[in-house]
Amino acid sequence: MWYRWQAVDAQGHLRQGELQAASAALARALLRRQGLQARSLQTLWWRAPPRHDPRTLARLTRQLASLLQAGIPLLQALTLLQQGPGLGLWPQTLQALAQQVAAGHSLHAAMARQPQVFSSLYRQMVAAGEMAGDLAASLERLAGMLERNEALRSRLRAALMYPALVLLVCLGVVLLILLWVVPVFEEVFRAFGAPLPWPTQLVVLVSRGLGEGAPALLLMTILVTLILRTPSVRARWQPLWQAWLLRLPVLGDLIRQSVLARWCQTLASLLASGIPLAEALVPAGLASGHPVYERASRRLQRRISQGSSLHQALAGHPRFPPLLVQMCATGEETGTLAQMLARTGDGLASDFETRAQGLSALLEPLIIVVLGVSIGGILVAMYLPIFQLGQVF
């Protein structure tokens, strides 16, 4: 949360400002660390709550790996990481980790005290690196995996952002015409007293419906949005919505490729860190960021625990393509499953980027055509009565 504070410094001068902290107690502690005694602390509810940026996590992970590879002790490396600029909430998190490590806890045990920041996948890879005595290499692989996953998410958002923005502008322009321009034409047509052609009647009817139902529609939209954002309802509808998106002809294939690329790359990193396959599947499913593949990963784990190989378990599931099954079979036969999964993930990511760029290039003219037809159709329908009157006179 963001807080507005008033405090007294060592000289007795009153000072004020704003700061970001996870809680009021932590905000007061941060002020005391600066030599300030807090007098008042006001929560700024309208500001967005603080969050740990995943891109910063990937950067800090790589920096920590580099420091450890340079021979710097873990406790000193955690202290050095706190001094970087633009870290948001991370200095407090790193300080808490350093305190736990100084008290004798392992790094993954210290991270387990902050499960909202460090995922199970992250902690497992750190634990595997500590058990193998090669924490720096495990952190290096973890940083690469986080960077690849974040890059895939960014590409997917970038591929969908422009079409969504143009469609939103198109909808706004159409609503503007229907709510403010069409009623003006309707008053003019009523003064003519002549019968209107059916396209004009249809546009006028839609305009009246929107004008009369706009307040109720707006209220309903706000109410539905608030209901859908509650945790219990969101936990129910979001998996259904994401599963429905996978069934769409083009967009569904694009999302599936992005999710599968993250799944393959994460599973490859976990296996390379020495985590057994049966234990690595569920974290890989969680890292995919899609509930359908989270459930599929749990089914795969059950089948492998019963004695099946990975390619046999994948072959019985429709969500995984035959190419992935074949690559896993080759990897299991040659003992290079992690490398095969990494290659498959890289190939899926490359193919995803190519298809995303092609889809974005295809959608741009298509959306412009839809925008032109929609607005042009409304304008033609509005001018038809004027044309007819010109022919009569």
pLDDT at 232: 67
Confidence check: pLDDT of 392 > 50: no
pLDDT at 331: 92
Confidence of residue 18 (pLDDT cuts 50, 70, 90): confident
Beta strand extents in the chain (DSSP E only): 2-8, 14-20, 37-44
3-state SS record for 100-118: HHHCCCCHHHHHHCCCCCC
Report d(CA 29, CA 26) in Å as an integer. 5
Instruction: Choose the weakest-confidence range: 6-10, 90-94, 386-390.
Output: 386-390
**Tell me, what's the pLDDT at 329?**
92
pLDDT at 45: 60
Q: Is residue 393 scored above 50 in pLDDT? A: no
Integer-rounded Cα Rg, in Å, for the chain is: 29
The answer to whether 42 and 3 have CB atoms below 8 angstroms apart is yes
Q: What is the pLDDT of residues 256-296, one digit of tens each?
A: 888 898 899 888 888 888 888 988 898 888 888 788 888 89
- For residue 91, with 0-12 CB atoms within 10 Å meaning exposed, 13-18 middle and 19 or more buried, which class applies? middle
Is 116 strand, coil or helix? coil
Strands 14-20 and 37-44: unpaired
DSSP designation for 2: E
pLDDT in tens, 309-341: 999 989 878 889 888 999 999 999 998 999 999
Instruction: Tokens 């955690």: give the residue.
Output: 78
Q: What's the pLDDT score for residue 93?
A: 85
pLDDT tens sequence across 74-83: 989 998 888 8
The confidence band for 48, taking pLDDT boundaries of 50, 70 and 90, is low
Global pTM reads 0.66
Q: What is the pLDDT of residues 98-152, one digit of tens each?
A: 888 998 889 989 888 887 788 877 888 888 888 878 888 888 888 888 888 788 7
Render pLDDT for 343-390 as a digit per residue (tens, 0 to 9): 998 888 888 888 877 777 777 788 778 778 888 888 788 777 777 665
Q: Looking at residue 1, what is its pLDDT?
A: 63
pLDDT digits (tens, 9 = 90+) for 161-215: 777 787 788 788 888 888 888 888 777 777 766 677 778 888 888 888 777 776 7
Range 23-31 average pLDDT = 78
